[in-house]
């Protein structure tokens, strides 16, 4: 890795640690991500993703008492960072949390209302990345928007509602299919364990169902990441 790229990575990390959530930090990130030196350094990419995940956990804890507007600005920044570094799961998880936060606060501030199109777009992105159950929930949120709002264009609304329902059906079918695959994988995993204990080994890799809900999944992942981060700090102090 070139010295220039190394310096840019260090600068980006420093900006994040200093809580500088601005366009300058984004530009630094975009700069070294576009470098050919960086694209082929898998270890550095993994380390960068882990760094941002760890910092995002700390940041979210730090802004817990801030205003909704402030939280949304910070979350939007983190969403952009995760999108740029290719951490789709974290990106979608924070987008989901932001939408839920806006939905919760919209009763007191109409500017925070989440439109059906925002839920629909999120549902499409979730389904594309294998998060079928969360896509189904997002579709239901989108449909709820029509129940709560006055119909302005019946013809157009009927078309959009039908589109959302079809997407929801696809999500349900996909989630069921993944569930069956997961059950089959678990069966073969147990069978493999039994055969291994008897001296016969067959390698079977269990596949993730991909349907774990973000809200629970992100909390468990964050707790795990925090434990790993603390363990790393303890090891560094011990050395």
Alpha helices in 107-213 (DSSP H): 116-128, 132-148, 154-197
* Residues 109-157: tens digit of each pLDDT: 989 999 999 999 999 999 999 899 899 999 999 999 988 774 566 667 8
Residue 229 lies in a domain: no
Do 42 and 120 sit in the same domain of this protein?
A: no
Per residue in 191-217, pLDDT (tens digit) is: 565 555 544 332 333 333 333 345 455
- Report the greatest alpha carbon distance in the chain: 69
Of 107, 130, 160, the last residue of a domain is 107
pLDDT computed for residue 120 by the predictor? 95
- C-beta separation of 114 from 103 below 8 A: yes
In a domain, 210, yes or no: no
Average pLDDT score over the chain: 80
Residue 184 CB neighbours (<10 A): 13
Angle at 226 between CA 223 and CA 99, to 5 degrees: 55
Residues 96 and 125 in one domain: no
Please list, in sequence order, all residues whose beta carbon lies within 8 angstroms of the beta carbon of residue 116, skipping any fewer than 6 positions away. 142, 143, 145, 146, 160, 164
The residue out of 107, 133, 158 marking a domain boundary is: 107
Same domain, 23 and 89: yes
Q: Tell me, yes or no, whether 68 and 167 share the same domain.
A: no
Domain span including residue 173: 115-180
Q: How many independent structural domains does the chain possess? A: 2
| Alpha-carbon gap, residue 217 to 212, rounded angstroms | 6
- In this prediction, residues 79-83 reach a mean pLDDT of 96
CA dihedral 52, 50, 91, 211 (to 10 degrees): -160
């Amino acid at each position: 890795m070139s010295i220039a790229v190394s310096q840019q990575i260090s600068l980006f990390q420093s900006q994040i640690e200093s809580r500088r959530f601005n366009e300058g930090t984004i530009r630094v990130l975009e700069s070294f991500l576009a470098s050919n030196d960086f694209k082929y350094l898998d270890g550095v990419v993994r380390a960068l993703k882990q760094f941002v995940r760890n910092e995002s956990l700390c940041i979210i804890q730090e802004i817990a008492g801030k205003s909704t507007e402030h939280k949304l600005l910070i979350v939007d920044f983190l969403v952009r960072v995760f999108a740029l570094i290719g951490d789709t799961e974290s990106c979608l998880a924070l987008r989901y949390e932001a939408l839920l936060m806006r939905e919760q606060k919209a009763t007191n501030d109409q500017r925070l209302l989440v439109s059906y199109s925002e839920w629909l777009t999120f549902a499409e992105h979730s389904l594309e990345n294998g998060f079928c159950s969360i896509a189904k929930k997002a579709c239901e949120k989108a449909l709820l928007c029509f129940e709560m709002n006055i119909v302005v264009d019946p013809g157009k609304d009927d078309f959009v509602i039908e589109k959302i329902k079809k997407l929801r059906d696809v999500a349900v079918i996909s989630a069921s299919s993944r569930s069956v695959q997961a059950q089959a994988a678990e069966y073969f995993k147990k069978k493999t364990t039994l055969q291994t204990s008897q001296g016969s080994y067959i390698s079977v890799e269990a596949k993730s169902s991909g349907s774990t809900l973000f809200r629970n999944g992100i909390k468990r992942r964050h707790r795990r990441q925090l434990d790993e981060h603390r363990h790393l700090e303890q090891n560094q102090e011990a050395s």
